[in-house]
Amino acid sequence: MISLENIVKEYHTRLGPRRVLDNVSFQLERGRNIGILGCNGAGKSTLIRLLSGAERPTSGRIRREMSVSWPLAFGGAFQTHLTGLDNLKFVCRVYGVDYKPLVPFVEEFTELGVYFREPVMHYSHGMLTRLAFALSIAIEFDCFLIDEAMVVGDVRFHERCHVEMFHKRKDRAFILVSHDANVIKLYCERASVLHEGRLYHFDNVDAAYDFYMDELGMRHAKRVIEV
Amino acid sequence: MSLLRSPEIVAFRRSLAVQRRVIGALLMREVITRFGRDNFGAMWLVFEPMLFTLGVAALWTAAAMNHGSSIPIVAFAVTGYSSVLLWRNCASRCSMAIEANLSLMYHRNVQAIDVFFTRILLEIAGATASFIILSVIFIVIDWMTFPVDLGKVLGGWLLLAWFGASLALLIGAGTAYSHVVEKLWHPAAYLLFPMSGAAFMVDWLPDTLQQVVLLLPMVHGVELLREGWFGNTVRTHYDAGYMATCCLILTWLGMHYVREAGRKLESR
């Protein structure tokens, strides 16, 4: 299980502290999933950073009783001088996994060919994304963190990610954040909406969807009136 | 035995295993990213300080620096400049180290302290290997004598390494707090070199200046190292206890601020 209790996250700005997450709480059981809907700037990425452990909350507690991945397809930790294989080795060392049995899968999925053993600085954007995705699913986590905005690519890549993540690993838990209500509707069994730093819970995805659309609509309406 | 199986000890040993693994991974990564695989690769870790020390030894010889004692200038330069590199490189490499490795923090087990430990370990290893290789070469060609008391040389070297490590933690955490620390570290490192005891023996100085210079912890380490190397041919002034106390305080401060810096870390 993973649980968040009254998480508050504030960032310092010149005009004083700015609260990005305000008393966010939720729980996720092993093998279950949750979608978190939010507009740009709602705090989705901050939530992912706290969940992955990259940053600490200002207050509140995060308990992880299952292994939690780093954000899916996050390639920011790549060193340009390292090869794809080096990066696989690094990640495996950090998580205490033998890298050798994983080489065939990563080579096959990334379709990098000879570039698998070339420095990452010679990779195209698509090659980087494929490598990043392959590495994050090569390690077997109980719960995956998915920031939908990070998994960008063509239709075929999306399809292969879909198969790897939602078919081959359908027994795993995941937390998916997105601004796209349709994505959440497609993959998640329940959903919450992150709005102005607060997390609103709903029994089913449709209720969350309606709330989200209303909020969007209201904001849009307000803006029209202000203009 | 029951103590070894208590939950705290088990948890501690598990954490220790994770930390060892992470530092091992970071070491491999750091070596490849810093030195690459071309030409000498990781050997540059040793060559770099060697070249520095050799260059300084050559300069001091050419300038025929008047150092008012019977110590050969090459031996004086090797013992002195190696000591400077040992502590100064540790601190310089840890300056801004978190910022350079921020994206690694997405892997929960990678913490700020691991990044610092990795860089400190590499610098100490490089400086030590460079010191040993240069000493062996100069002893073989008879430009340097074999140390009179190897124990004291080792003691001085270890104290200097400890000083470097504790200073590195403090500078590393400091730069994560404020870039001002990084700006101040450069002139500080530059100005501390002539005062660090590398280019003089404390005994050559007037009494009042001796008191001032001996406030700096690293001076004690260099003096101890040189007493070990040259024995009775030099008069030394040092207090290993004073240096160890300074290092202990610096270590405590360093660890404290590294933890604080880790808490307020903002990745992106």
pLDDT in tens, A87-98: 999 999 999 999
| Residues of A whose CB is below 8 A from B107 | 70, 77, 91, 94-95
pLDDT of residue A69: 93
Q: What is the mean pLDDT of residues A190-202?
A: 92
Q: What is the mean pLDDT of residues B234-247?
A: 96
A133 and A86, same structural domain? yes
Confidence of residue B123 (pLDDT cuts 50, 70, 90): very high
pLDDT over 70 percentage in chain B: 96
Last-in-domain residue among A140, A161, A187: A140
A40 and A75, same structural domain? no
**Considering CB atoms only, which of B33, B108, B263 is closest to A79?**
B33
Residue B80 has pLDDT above 90, yes or no: yes
Distance (Å) from the alpha carbon of A202 to chain B's nearest alpha carbon: 29
Cβ contact, residue pair B267, A55, below 8 Å: yes
pLDDT of residue B52: 92
User: Domain with A49 in it: what CATH number?
Assistant: 3.40.50.300
Residue-range definition of the domain harbouring residue A83: 70-140
Cβ contact, residue pair A90, B262, below 8 Å: no
Q: What is the mean pLDDT of residues B180-190?
A: 94
pLDDT of residue A134: 94
When scoring A55, A63, A82, A92 by the number of chain B Cβ atoms within 10 A, the one with the most, hence best to mutate, is A55
| Residues of B whose CB is below 8 A from A74 | 106
Confidence of residue B220 (pLDDT cuts 50, 70, 90): very high
pLDDT in tens, B125-143: 999 999 999 999 999 999 9
Instruction: Please provide the average confidence, as pLDDT, over all residues in chain B.
Output: 92
pLDDT in tens, A32-75: 999 999 988 889 999 999 999 889 999 999 999 999 999 988 88
Last-in-domain residue among A140, A162, A191: A140
Instruction: Give residue A196's Cα distance to chain centre.
Output: 19
Q: What is the mean pLDDT of residues B79-100?
A: 94
**Considering CB atoms only, which of B24, B109, B267 is closest to A49?**
B267
Last-in-domain residue among A114, A140, A166: A140
Tell me if A29 sits within 8 A of A190, measured CB to CB: no
Q: What is the mean pLDDT of residues B71-93?
A: 93
pLDDT over 90 percentage in chain A: 63
pLDDT of residue B55: 93
Hunting for tokens 């209720």 — which residue is that? A207
DSSP assignment of B197-240, as one string?
Answer: TSSS-GGGS-HHHHHHHTTSHHHHHHHHHHHHHHGGGS-----H
Q: How many domains does chain A have?
A: 2
pLDDT of residue A66: 93
pLDDT of residue A218: 61
A165 lies in a domain?
Answer: no
Confidence of residue B39 (pLDDT cuts 50, 70, 90): confident
**Considering CB atoms only, which of B29, B107, B108 is closest to A79?**
B29
- Beta-carbon neighbour count of residue A6 at 10 Å? 12
- Give the residue on B whose Cα is nearest the Cα of A45: B268
A167 lies in a domain?
Answer: no
pLDDT of residue A198: 93
Confidence of residue B42 (pLDDT cuts 50, 70, 90): confident
A45 lies in a domain?
Answer: yes
| Residues of A whose CB is below 8 A from B103 | 76-77
The CA distance from A33 to A169, in Å, is 12
Cβ contact, residue pair B103, A94, below 8 Å: no
ipTM over 0.95: no
The CA distance from B122 to B42, in Å, is 10
Residue B192 has pLDDT above 90, yes or no: yes
Q: What is the mean pLDDT of residues A182-205?
A: 91
The CA distance from A210 to A96, in Å, is 44
A166 lies in a domain?
Answer: no
Residue A161 has pLDDT above 80, yes or no: yes
pLDDT of residue B69: 63
Instruction: Please provide the average confidence, as pLDDT, over all residues in chain A.
Output: 90
A124 lies in a domain?
Answer: yes
Token representation of residue B91? 């601190």
A62 and A116, same structural domain? no
Cβ contact, residue pair B21, A93, below 8 Å: yes
**Considering CB atoms only, which of B103, B265, B266 is closest to A77?**
B103
| Residues of B whose CB is below 8 A from A77 | 103-104, 106-107
pLDDT of residue A127: 92
Cβ contact, residue pair A71, B106, below 8 Å: yes
A83 lies in a domain?
Answer: yes
When scoring B27, B29, B98, B264 by the number of chain A Cβ atoms within 10 A, the one with the most, hence best to mutate, is B29
Cβ contact, residue pair B108, A54, below 8 Å: yes
A164 lies in a domain?
Answer: no
Distance (Å) from the alpha carbon of A76 to chain B's nearest alpha carbon: 6
Annotated domain spans of chain B: 44-263
Confidence of residue B2 (pLDDT cuts 50, 70, 90): low
pLDDT of residue B246: 98
Q: What is the mean pLDDT of residues A179-193?
A: 91
Q: Which residues of B touch A (CB under 8 A)?
A: 18, 21-22, 24-25, 28-29, 32-33, 36, 103-110, 262-267
Cβ contact, residue pair A94, B32, below 8 Å: no
pLDDT in tens, A3-15: 999 999 999 888 9
A97 lies in a domain?
Answer: yes
- Name every residue whose Cβ is closer than 8 Å to that of residue A157 and which is 6 or more positions away in sequence: A126, A129, A130, A133
